[in-house]
Amino acid sequence: MMVIGGQWGDEGKGKVVDLLSSAFPAVVRYNGGHNAGHTVRVGERKFALHLVPSGIIHPDSRCYMGAGLVIDPTALLKEIDRLKGEGIEVEGRLCLSPRAAIILPTHRALDLAREDRRGDGKIGTTGRGIGPAYQDIAQRRCLRTWMLADPAKLRDAARALMVQHNAELVALFGVEEVDLDAALDEVMAAAKRLAPLVREVGPEIRRHADRGDPILFEGAQGVLLDLNWGTYPFVTSSSCLPGFAAASCGVGPRYLGPVLGVMKAYATRVGSGPFPTEDFGPDGDGLRDRGVEYGTTTGRPRRCGWFDVVAARHAVQTAGIDALALTKIDVLDGLKTLKVCVAYEGPGGEVIETVPADADLLAEVTPRYVDIPGWGGATEGLINEEALPEGARAYLKFLEDQVGIPIALVSTGPRREETMARGSSPMAEKIAKILSDA
């Protein structure tokens, strides 16, 4: 099975993956870097994960990190140490592909310098070196994680690449060079501890499959941030689509299984870029406050707005999503009226029913809303569809009909147990069994 984001990230994938992981001996992360932020709540405990797959919280799950990731060794090591401090055992359960790219301190400096140069046209990068690292992959000059086990080669290659980066920092951006000795010491210290985690991921995944073990692939970010199919150029630096998992992990598409797309019951976005249903008034502020909409990775306040059917259908069709997991419906409790965007109106008054490739055009569209009555009761913490207020059930049915695929899971709060399976689709039946066995 695959779990991917169906919006601009921050949809609640971490909770969904954690919830499902109890039924999956193998959990695989395949894209992005530590720009991702997946939050998992277990009882009163809260775990913020950025690189390590969310399945690590389950002691029986083995976790894998594919070749399509970019890895900051220091950030990964800090995350592992933080998990160990919370009583989560990582060694022996985490496998890192030798083919993933390494993020160096100079990548971070380049990321910040480029973003600063953009001025008012900032993308909204996290400044963690993700984009420059992916750029080095395309330029065929990146360092790979197999080097973590070869200190001499790693040191020489890292120094040579960082010398190039420093020259770019000075010549292109007019900023100070990164201290090479300090940067090398940082990389080498982390490499020594991470080297034992490095081994080929593909053969491990195939062995799981040969034993009949179900495998869960965990996506980062979301379809609307995909490098090719998102709101380019306001996107991330890697593919967020299911097909990239096969390429990242060195396995065929037949290993991937059905796709569960995670979406919020409203919409949020971090950073710059078009957001047709953004609400700049008190409703948007209310969604942010009630939903605690602040980035797990950056702490930045998220832009908030209404559910966008046009964007949701784009994600479903582009990524081949089979069913939806709808999160944070409880945030809508108490609202008298909900808005749902069912089409866009272009600058010339034309009706637009698909997400245009031109981000400038998308920024100019006017959303065509349908008003949906709110509900008086509370959904928070409910675990049975029949217990939902009638208005909440009607809202789910409306979204399901508009998007065109079943809503198989509904999250009514941040904790594991605040979740329900919904409907009778194959995905819903699978989720219901996992919930009953948990």
The residues carrying an active-site annotation are 10, 38
Instruction: Determine how many CB atoms are found less than 10 A away from the CB of residue 192.
Output: 13
Q: Is 256 helix (H, G, I), strand (E, B) or coil?
A: coil
How much is the CA Rg of the chain, to the nearest whole Å? Answer: 22
Contact 130, 186 (CB under 8 A): no
> Tokens representing 169?
């920092």
Neighbours of 374 (CB within 10 A): 16
Torsions phi, psi of 304, nearest 5? -125, 150
Phi-psi sector, 332: left (phi>0), alpha (psi -120 to 50), beta = alpha
Tokens at 125, concatenated? 């990068």
Q: What residues have CB less than 8 Å from 214, skipping those under 6 apart?
A: 1, 23, 24, 25, 26, 257
CA 274-128-97 angle, to 5 degrees, is 110
Two tokens at 382? Answer: 């409910």
Residue 327 CB-density burial (10 A; 0-12 exposed, 13-18 middle, 19+ buried): buried
Encoded amino acid at 186, one letter: E
- Residue 216: CB atoms within 10 Å: 24
CB 264 within 8 A of CB 327: yes
Q: Quick one: DSSP state of residue 421?
A: E
Sequence-ordered list of residues with C-beta below 8 angstroms from that of 182, at least 6 positions apart, any chain = 105
